[in-house]
Amino acid sequence: MSGPDQPSVVVVGAGAAGLTAALFAARAGARVTLLESGRKPGLKILASGGGRCNVLPSEAALSDFFTHGSDKAMRNVLRGWPLDAVTRFFTDDLGLPLKTEATGKVFPVSDRARDVLDVLLQACADAGVTLRTRSRVHDLRWEADAGDAEEAQAATGPAGVWHLRLDDQPALQARRVILATGGLSLPKSGSDGTGWRVVERLGHTLTPRFPALVPITVSDAGFSGLSGVSVPVTLEVTDAGKRVAVETGDLLMTHRGLSGPAVLQISRHLACPGAEQRALTLRWLDRDWRADLGDGSAGRTAGAALRSALPRRLADLLLRRADVAPEARLATLPKHQRKALLRQLERCPIPWTGTEGYKTAEVTAGGVPLSQLHLKTLESRVAPGLHLCGELLDVTGRLGGYNFLWAWVSGRRAGEGAARLAR
């Protein structure tokens, strides 16, 4: 094969990672076709950051990322394209002005996710990438070059061609394929897990996958009655009394449970396999409640003390849970009631029942371990000629632009690697 019209590299999935992979493969000299199952590319970019796209963080450390595998491998990939260089890629190369907000999150100055997608699509078009939408790949098959019996027997190896099977379209062939089909989160954006099914059929094994950066559900109807209330908190997850994780930040009550940055950040520790027995507690506000309810406020009622610090509906819920009447004077509060009230304020047990799942999760944790790839090119060690990037891999980041950072960095590495090896 490999006629003048055939692509040398086919990228599957036009999300953040696939667009970057296609762009850098084309700039490195490959003839690139980018296949997208949806009617439009980059839907998750458009949905991101509340429609503003938190395109990058302003700072990044290895501890902002998670993997079941080796930190060293993850660092190897991340260091390949340092954050300041990625930032310059957007501002200087793609011409997208960026701004850093007080939270440390980086957004386009225009506050429009559309602009992020548009500059990527324009750069791909300028580099000669052929984008084909409504082109869903459902399987990949390797065919070794005729005459190479050993390769043919192994049904893998570099001397051959990938056949990409598409829904309702003729198969496509390419020497190099980059899979960038994403995870399972936000299925309406096109993420249906096909990529993982394909690589499993080819012999890859996957680390456990679960929704991350996801709202959690609670069984206490009192909390759901507070939908819309937002409060700064410190959350703690423990397992058999041992601390597993702590997060400080805003919590938002929803009609199904809890959301907001602090909850999303800690949710992976409740969503991962084996987390069912874990306990979630929280401290409301960053304050010393023991002192607040101490001698200085002895003349006040419990209701006045709590309502002056917390939203009234929340204060009343905590009083009910502690079995303390709002009009009870703090000075005369029995010891067991003071203790119960302090528990609700400082180590408030949250009856969590699960998460909202992939439907609302921002990312899927787990996936293809980096140990199954050549790190320099993100080429599969199991299926040579196949490169993987983005959320498909067993790397996720914290909230704050880290997941896109991983998508851009891994996409570029896979794109350049595939183009080099396709020559």
Ligand X SMILES: Cc1cc2nc3c(=O)[nH]c(=O)nc-3n(C[C@H](O)[C@H](O)[C@H](O)COP(=O)(O)OP(=O)(O)OC[C@H]3O[C@@H](n4cnc5c(N)ncnc54)[C@H](O)[C@@H]3O)c2cc1C
Q: How far is the CB of 11 from ligand X (least distance, A)?
A: 9
Q: For the chain, give the number of residues.
A: 423
* Site of tokens 């990228």: 11
**Residue 413 found at the interface with ligand X (CB under 6 A):** no
DSSP output for 310-370 = S-HHHHHHHHHHHT--TT-BGGG--HHHHHHHHHHHHSEEE-EEEE--TTT-SEEE--B-G
Of 264 and 275, which has the nearer Cβ to ligand X? Answer: 264
The one among 9, 10, 11, 16 contacting ligand X by CB under 6 A: 16
List the one residue out of 154, 156, 206 whose CA is nearest residue 388: 206
Nearest-approach distance from CB 419 to ligand X, in angstroms: 18
What 8-state DSSP symbol labels residue 299?
Answer: T
In terms of Cβ atoms closer than 10 Å to its own Cβ (0-12, 13-18, 19+), residue 106 is: buried
Cβ contact 195:13 at 8 Å: yes
For ligand X, the closer CB: 340 or 409: 409
Q: Identify the three-state secondary structure at position 212.
A: strand
404 is a contact residue toward ligand X (CB under 6 A): yes
The single residue among 46, 47, 206, 279 that binds ligand X, judged by CB under 6 A, is: 47
CA dist 409 and 378 (Å) reads 11
The SS3 assignment for 283 reads: strand
105-144 footprint of ligand X as x/- string (CB under 6 A): -------------------------------xx-------
Which listed range, 239-247, 314-322, 369-377, 397-405, lies at the site for ligand X (CB under 6 A)? 397-405
Q: Does 12 bind ligand X (CB under 6 A)?
A: yes
Residues 192, 175, 79, 200: is their CA dihedral positive or negative? positive
Q: Which one of 67, 181, 217, 355 is in contact with ligand X (CB under 6 A)? A: 181
Whether residue 167 contacts residue 44, with contact meaning beta carbons closer than 8 Å, is answered with no
DSSP element (H, E) containing 164: strand 160-166
Q: In the block, which residue shows the tokens 């084996």?
A: 274
Nearest approach in angstroms of CB 271 to ligand X is 15
- Please say which residue, 165 or 343, places its beta carbon nearer to ligand X: 165
Within a 10 A sphere around the Cβ of 397, how many other Cβ atoms?
22
Instruction: Find the binder of ligand X among 13, 215, 260, 261 (CB under 6 A).
Output: 13
Cα 36 versus chain centre, distance: 20
How many residues line the site for ligand X (CB under 6 A)?
A: 40
46 binds ligand X (CB under 6 A): no
Site for ligand X in 20-39 (CB under 6 A): 35-38
| In the complex, minimum distance from the CB of residue 61 to ligand X, in angstroms, rounded to a whole number | 15
Is 176 a binder of ligand X (CB under 6 A)? no
Residue whose CB is less far from ligand X, 15 or 385 = 15
Among 23, 184, 407, 421, binds ligand X (CB under 6 A): 407
Q: Which residues bind ligand X (CB under 6 A)?
A: 12-18, 35-38, 43-44, 47-49, 53-54, 136-137, 180-182, 185-186, 189-192, 194-195, 362-363, 390-391, 401-404, 407
